[in-house]
A = this chain, B = another copy of it.
Amino acid sequence: MPDHRSWRRRLYANLHPPAWRRRGLSPLNRFIALAIVLAVGLAILQSEPTLYVGNEWIFRALELVFAVIFLAEYVGRIWIAGENPDFGPTLRGRLRYALSVPALIDLVALASMFATLMGPQGAILRLFRLVRIVALAKIGRYSSALNAIGQAIHSRRYELSMSLVIAGLLLVISSTLLYLVEGEGQPDDFGSIPRAMWWSIATLTTVGYGDAYPITPLGKILAGLTALTGIGLIAMPTGILASAFSDALQRQREAREESIKKREET
């Protein structure tokens, strides 16, 4: 069947991003990306009772639409796995694709969607909704700009994880000090190191909810020092990332100059 094969090849080019020859995403993949964002948005809005109650049928209808779209996409992906040299046209190749991580994520997202449609409403379904949101991560698959950020983070992974370790140390030290100073007076907020940690993380990250704060003069002085340290905690990873991005840029520029020089020499 040459007709069947040519259709499969066309769908493969449209559905499998690396097989698309033009720049960017194919129209079909753009449509799927949009559908994922909208489906996640729907799941988010559905959790709000004031929106959901009374409009159940709208949500169910839209869910059904998305379920059909993603089921069609899933079946399509299984079908075109035959075109993919990584899997091959045999049944075994398709099974191997169906067991690959992206395909399993698709399946779980689909399953949670049908669970919402058929199963009883309840607390257990909340967890399925969470899985559905994971589907949004698929957009990352489409993006190459994300790689640039990922590489910058990867090239400084030791320094960045060291600033996490320093953050952890500061968290332990400041929580312990505040527990010692404020523990007697405010047992609810500072009566143990884990309790003081809640205050400490809010202060070190400069969030500052204001539900817990020291009231003794010494506690306030220590809290002030903790807040100042928090600025350092922001400055360290920012400085590390800034240098990583600068470095990546300069390497790119030098590589370009190198290639221009070589062309001029020949």
Contacts and interface: CB of A to CB of B under 8 A. Distances in A.
Contacts of A136: 169, 172
Contacts of A164: 228
A88 interface: no
A228 B167 contact: yes
* Copy total for this chain: 4
A208 B223 CA distance: 12
A137 to B, nearest CB: 7
Interface in A201-250: 201-203, 205-211, 213, 217, 220, 223-224, 227-228, 230-250
A14 interface: no
Contacts of A86: none
Interface in A126-141: 126-127, 129-130, 133, 136-137, 139
A236 B241 contact: yes
A81 to B, nearest CB: 28
B172 A145 contact: no
A57 interface: no
Given A47-B192, A198-B224, A207-B230, A243 B249 contact: yes
A89 interface: no
* Interface residues on chain A, size class: 35 or more
A165 B179 contact: no
A210 B208 CA distance: 7
Q: Is the interface of A mostly helix, strand, loop or mixed?
A: helix
Interface string A55-89: 00000000000000000000000000000000000
A225 to B, nearest CB: 9
A40 interface: yes
Contact of A238 (B159, B203, B238): B238
Given A165-B139, A241-B236, A48 B195 contact: yes
Contacts of A149: 159, 162-163, 166, 236
Contacts of A44: 172, 175-176, 193-194, 197
A176 B232 contact: no
Contact of A192 (B49, B191, B227, B234): B49
Contact of A231 (B220, B234, B245): B234
Interface of A: 40, 43-45, 47-49, 126-127, 129-130, 133, 136-137, 139, 143, 145-146, 148-149, 152, 158-159, 161-167, 169, 172-173, 175-177, 179-180, 183, 191-195, 197-198, 201-203, 205-211, 213, 217, 220, 223-224, 227-228, 230-250, 253
